[in-house]
Structure 1
Amino acid sequence: MATTQTEAPTLRVNLAEYGVTKALRDGRVTSDLVNLDYCGPTPAHNGFKAMVRENAFDAGELAIVTFLQAKAYGKPYVLLPAPISGRFQHHCAGYNIDFGPLDPRNIEGKKVGVRTYTQTTALWIRGILRHEYGVDLDKVTWMTLGDGHLAEYCDPQNCQRLPAGSKIPQMMLTGELSAALLGEDMPKDPRVRTLVPDAQAAAKDWFAREGVVPINHMFVVHQDMSKRHPEIVRELYRMIVESRTLADNLPAVFPPLGLEANRKGIQLAIDWALDQKIIPHRLTVDELFDDVTGALV
């Protein structure tokens, strides 16, 4: 954080432009207390490793899974109750129907591709497969392209690394992988089906029962800033809220603002991360926040 005696401090921020952040990024939301230097890479997830390994940013978005791991391994960031992105994930596991129909339980004993084991989309869709369809995740071989964001973490034993340069969507289409966990990279191919039957209807039913929109990314700040400059943290939250109110394309169903409103969704992420061997021990929702960020409303 750079500052002088007369100027507002400038924070190094890793934040992409989404509907909820567009007014921040384009300058419609400003502050007299702080300046934001959007110096992170595009896409923003390419900066997550630098954030948790090198303290490369003062604030910004972070995948909820990466943050849970960062907290578990003692990294100096604290959560704001401000989801930046989130969506239903039921449609994010696909397969090629040319090789025959595939029910969720049928992936046991097979190879399934995923960019990294700790990818947030993968956490959610694996949890859905386990808890909604009874899949034994330990019986699946997860074929990955890379390691996670935390240097301290090692993938479970049922993970294998794909050769460098492998293309998971193409390997799913050719049958080298029985299925793949993919977000926006799902091939637009008529042969592709969702592993979850009628994924849109399943997501609607799940939301009616659980009332949770799975969180992808949330806003975080360096813990030193929260301790030394709580007024700046409160100002950041105000700016995020204002930017969100100015969004003209916010999805009809989106993760809410506030700690209590997100408690169930964050708790679910913790439970599933522990179950899937992504975090080494249980965390509580409240320890992810401090006295400043937990009180933001």
Structure 2
Amino acid sequence: MAKIQLSLAIGAYDHVRDLLDGTVSVAGVELTVMRLPVEEMFYRFLMHGEFDVSEASLAKIVALAAQDDRRFVPLPVFPSRVFRHSSIYIRSDGGIARPEDLAGKRVGVPEWAQTAAIYTRGLLAHDYGVDLASIHWHQAGVNEAGRIEKVKLSLPSGIRLTVVADRSLSEMLLAGDLDAVLSARPPTPILAGDPRVRRLFADYRAVELAYARTTGLFPIMHVVAMRREVYERDRWLAMNLFKAFEEAKARSLQRAADMAASFFPLPWVADELRRARELFGGDPWAYGIAPNRATLETFLRYAFEQGVCCRPLSLETLFPPEVQSTFRI
């Protein structure tokens, strides 16, 4: 049987490297791979469906699913996971010393439906008691003007969201027109070391480690998704893709654990992996629904509360049945 030709767009992660270079293959599939920046990849996939399979924003996928827009079929493969206490940026002279001080302030987000922003607003509301309706929200590109929302929103009553088309969040933060920014990508002043802007949590790793230990959550940012027509045509692709991504990730973890040679240009990689396994279990970057149920259900709750999802969703209706369980010998 001839192999199916599929296009795949994804970031250049080490945990997918062996899939991209052909060391790991997808059974029955020949891949054409494109490594793209996340913003470009997300835009082209979600707006135009340019790829058969793509890394995608978890927020956009669940927002569309809630609207019964079923163009995309997500797989429980999560290329990017990031704790988001580190993603709160404030003016150094703004009088903000703790999360509770954000109440009543002017806060910018690149998109209301950005996955990172949803997690960050969720922890502000649930962990620190911040009333999201007390904040005057502004939406704009973090470092470039003109960024737009990609999905229709159902904002809760009382939420004030102003769209700013002609300025960036970085520009407004430096000008004093914003007090804080929530963003996955750091504002340029942070990258440039501008003393006028800093993170709310200076020692964010300690805060995020405490959060992980207390909640057991490891926030998921991105998901791998298929165009629905590709899935419906050959439903066996879902599990074959899942297995290939799983194998590629396992090989990456093997490299990280290897102390005979340095496969990553960082010291103490094997020890960091050991610590992550102590915290999260044997696989610190688990795929699949079961090991991620608490994290995913928390995110779905936040997305509904914040008006990104217009109705509640369950994981069983979000992911296809082929990847919700597997065989045992």
TM interval, short-chain normalised = 0.7 to 0.9
1:47-58 equivalences under 5 Å are 47-58=41-52
Of the three residues 11, 33, 40, the one matched with 1:38 is: 33
- Contact 2:73 2:320 (8 Å CA) reproduced: yes
- SS in structure 1 opposite 2:77? strand
What are structure 1's unaligned runs of at least 5 residues?
A: 1-5
Label 1:207 to 1:32 Cα distance change in 2 as closer, same or farther (>3 A).
Answer: closer
For residue 3 of structure 1, what is the aligned residue in structure 2? none
- Provide the C-alpha distance between the structure 1 equivalents of 2:27 and 2:108, rounded to a whole number of angstroms: 47
- Provide the C-alpha distance between the structure 2 equivalents of 1:70 and 1:296, rounded to a whole number of angstroms: 27
Aligned: 1:220 with 2:222 = no
Aligned: 1:283 with 2:313 = yes
- Provide the C-alpha distance between the structure 2 equivalents of 1:147 and 1:101, rounded to a whole number of angstroms: 28
User: What's the offset of the Cα at 1:197?
Assistant: 6.6
User: What's the offset of the Cα at 1:191?
Assistant: 4.4
Number of matched residues? Answer: 289
- Provide the C-alpha distance between the structure 2 equivalents of 1:133 and 1:237, rounded to a whole number of angstroms: 37
- Provide the C-alpha distance between the structure 2 equivalents of 1:197 and 1:43, rounded to a whole number of angstroms: 28
- Contact 1:95 1:173 (8 Å CA) reproduced: no
User: What's the offset of the Cα at 1:82?
Assistant: 1.3
User: What's the offset of the Cα at 1:108?
Assistant: 2.3
For residue 16 of structure 2, what is the aligned residue in structure 1? 21
User: What's the offset of the Cα at 1:289?
Assistant: 1.4
- SS in structure 2 opposite 1:68? helix
TM-score for the superposition, normalised by structure 2:
0.80
- Contact 1:255 1:262 (8 Å CA) reproduced: no
- Contact 1:81 1:296 (8 Å CA) reproduced: no
Aligned: 1:72 with 2:66 = yes
TM-score for the superposition, normalised by structure 1:
0.87
User: What's the offset of the Cα at 1:39?
Assistant: 4.3
Residue 27 of structure 1 aligns with an amino acid whose one-letter code is: G
- SS in structure 2 opposite 1:212? coil
Label 1:73 to 1:296 Cα distance change in 2 as closer, same or farther (>3 A).
Answer: farther
Aligned: 1:271 with 2:276 = no
- Provide the C-alpha distance between the structure 2 equivalents of 1:65 and 1:31, rounded to a whole number of angstroms: 26
- Contact 1:63 1:218 (8 Å CA) reproduced: yes
Could you report, residue by residue, the CA deviation over 1:236-258 in whole angstroms, capped at 9, with x for unpaired residues? 11210121122245974454112
- Provide the C-alpha distance between the structure 2 equivalents of 1:155 and 1:23, rounded to a whole number of angstroms: 41
- SS in structure 1 opposite 2:90? strand
User: What's the offset of the Cα at 1:55?
Assistant: 3.0
Residue 160 of structure 2 aligns with an amino acid whose one-letter code is: N
1:90-129 equivalences under 5 Å are 90-129=85-124
Q: Which moved more, 1:137-146 or 1:224-233?
A: 224-233
Aligned: 1:83 with 2:78 = yes
User: What's the offset of the Cα at 1:34?
Assistant: 0.5
- Provide the C-alpha distance between the structure 2 equivalents of 1:54 and 1:183, rounded to a whole number of angstroms: 23
- Contact 1:141 1:159 (8 Å CA) reproduced: yes
- Provide the C-alpha distance between the structure 2 equivalents of 1:44 and 1:182, rounded to a whole number of angstroms: 14
Of the three residues 162, 165, 172, the one matched with 1:160 is: 162
Of the three residues 130, 134, 142, the one matched with 1:135 is: 130
Aligned: 1:193 with 2:198 = yes
- Provide the C-alpha distance between the structure 1 equivalents of 2:127 and 2:203, rounded to a whole number of angstroms: 13
Label 1:215 to 1:255 Cα distance change in 2 as closer, same or farther (>3 A).
Answer: farther
What are structure 2's unaligned runs of at least 5 residues?
A: 141-146, 257-268, 277-283
Residue 208 of structure 2 aligns with an amino acid whose one-letter code is: A
For residue 11 of structure 1, what is the aligned residue in structure 2? 6
Q: Which moved more, 1:11-20 or 1:28-37?
A: 28-37
Name the Cα RMSD after superposition. Answer: 2.4
Aligned: 1:243 with 2:248 = yes
Percent identity over paired residues? 24
- Provide the C-alpha distance between the structure 1 equivalents of 2:230 and 2:72, rounded to a whole number of angstroms: 9
User: What's the offset of the Cα at 1:104?
Assistant: 1.9
- SS in structure 2 opposite 1:122? helix
Q: Which moved more, 1:246-255 or 1:79-88?
A: 246-255
- Provide the C-alpha distance between the structure 2 equivalents of 1:141 and 1:119, rounded to a whole number of angstroms: 17
- Contact 1:48 1:62 (8 Å CA) reproduced: yes
Could you report, residue by residue, the CA deviation over 1:211-248 in whole angstroms, capped at 9, with x for unpaired residues? 11100001112334334323322221121012112224
